[in-house]
Chains A and B, each alone.
Chain A
Amino acid sequence: MTSLRLLLAGLLAALVVAGGVSYYASGSPDGLEYVAEQVGFLDAAEDPATADGPLADYAVRGVEDDRVSGGLAGVLGVLVTFGVAGGGFWLLRRRGVRTG
């Protein structure tokens, strides 16, 4: 498999997971949240300053349908993460050298 094809296949998989499969994720509190509630410090949690952002809680503000809103947020997240990380690593890489 060529590097480009691997990259495209992986990106497609990430988009499908974040844009589609995530709808079926468990809505139960995660381990830390659950423990915090049981042990009694969950109330100490505060909303971050970004809590009113247009993508807060993995939903696009203004999009009514949960599946579309969450899926769109996931797709945007994958693209932004790939752009920031991939771009950063591309600038950071050793030029014209193969480490392998």
Chain B
Amino acid sequence: MHVPDGFLDVPTSAATGVVAAAGVALALRGARRELDDRTAPLAGLVAAFVFALQMVNFPVGAGTSGHLMGGALAAVLVGPWTAVLVISVVLAVQALLFADGGLTALGTNIVLLGLAAVVVSWLVFRVLQALLPKRVGLVPALAGVAALVSVPVAALVFVGLYAVGGAVEIPLGTLVAAMVGWHTLIGIGEAVLTALVVGSVLAARPDLVHGARAVRTRADLEIRTPAATEATR
């Protein structure tokens, strides 16, 4: 879901630009708490990986396709603040170098994929984590559910923006039904990819998965000597 230039009028695009800038500024402060010598390179990798996966559109039936948005994936792997920055960098690279997504619509796309999807994903993930048994093994599935929810929610936020400043007058009920319907299907693909990637990183290095921190018990933590710690850097 990359909004091109022209779908939303100039005032609405300017407003989403301001919201996006404020969100990114907040995230730049918040991300400092999530990034250290070990997680900063991983966060860069997550951005590269989201870029790569966004190139692979998967079919969702009747001549339509979708691709990963990556908000849930990034939030669970590297934390929500960093995830906002991860998605924003991906969107900026796509718009500036690959003409994918509009330039005046860059703020809109950051609001949809970088803010709305990330915030919703993280809320769903943390609420489920609080309600369900505290098990590391559940993290990929919870990330998948968060991903599933995030896609139609981002689609709904787009509908809201279109209602305010859409270029062409259209019946909003039709737009809501079509956007939420198709993006729920795309959300299933988002859920599967998110759960698979989170599961893979969790299997390799559970200590690096931000979303697993709250549920890792002492038994999951390995005792490392200073020498062993150095070796893993």
Residues of A within 8 A of B (CB): 1-4, 6-7, 9-11, 13-15, 17-18, 21-22, 24-32, 34-36, 38-41, 43-51, 53, 55-58, 73-74, 76-90, 92-100
Q: Which residues of A contact B167 (CB under 8 A)?
A: 41, 44
Answer whether residue B36 sits at the interface, using C-beta atoms and an 8 A cutoff: yes
Compute how far the CA of A79 lies from the CA of B52 in the bound complex, rounded to whole angstroms.
10
Q: Tell me whether B183 and A31 are in contact (CB under 8 A).
A: yes
Q: Which residues of A contact B126 (CB under 8 A)?
A: none
Answer whether residue B86 sits at the interface, using C-beta atoms and an 8 A cutoff: yes
Stretch at the interface among B1-9, B117-125, B140-148: B1-9
Going nearest first, the 6 A-B pairs with the smallest beta carbon separation are A86-B44, A85-B47, A44-B167, A46-B6, A18-B52, A82-B48
A26-B57, A86-B44 are known; give 15 further A-B pairs, CB within 8 A: A25-B55, A29-B63, A32-B158, A34-B63, A34-B64, A35-B175, A35-B178, A39-B175, A40-B168, A41-B170, A50-B97, A77-B51, A89-B82, A92-B31, A100-B213
Compute how far the CA of A95 lies from the CA of B38 in the bound complex, rounded to whole angstroms.
11
Q: Tell me whether A93 and B35 are in contact (CB under 8 A).
A: yes
Q: Which residues of B contact A58 (CB under 8 A)?
A: 55, 98, 100
Answer whether residue B85 sits at the interface, using C-beta atoms and an 8 A cutoff: yes
- Taken residue by residue from 207 to 233, chain B's Cβ proximity to chain A (1 for < 8 Å, 0 otherwise) reads as 110000100000000000000000111
